[in-house]
Amino acid sequence: MKLGLFNSKKKKHISETPGYIDSDPAKCVQCGICSYNCPIGIDVRAHVWDREPMINTQCITCGKCITLCPRGVLQFVATDGLSKDTLWNT
């Protein structure tokens, strides 16, 4: 009987809400709380540092990084289900 506890295959993560995470890098002190608490293991801090919104990543938009950020750096931007890249290329 297989329990699947140590399945090495990566599961596809499904976004919980249509949208993406954006940031205000000027507020960020690179504490790493956002990255440490990400259930997917995304380096959120790197996205902030590079001034890149988290679009088309493995992010499931659960909001943990937004909720736990002590400086209010991160914010959720709702979309109609289309990615920002799709919107810009139309």
Q: Which residue has the higher pLDDT, 73 or 83?
A: 73
Alpha-carbon gap, residue 81 to 6, rounded angstroms: 32
Distance of CA 66 to the CA centre of its chain: 9
Query: What is the model's pLDDT at position 80?
Result: 76
Express each pLDDT in 14-40 by its tens digit.
556 778 899 999 999 999 999 999 999
What is the tens place of the pLDDT at every residue in 47-78?
999 999 988 678 888 899 999 999 999 999 98
One-letter amino acid at 23 equals: S
Domains of the chain, start order: 19-88 (3.30.70.20)
The answer to whether 88 touches 20, Cβ cutoff 8 Å, is no
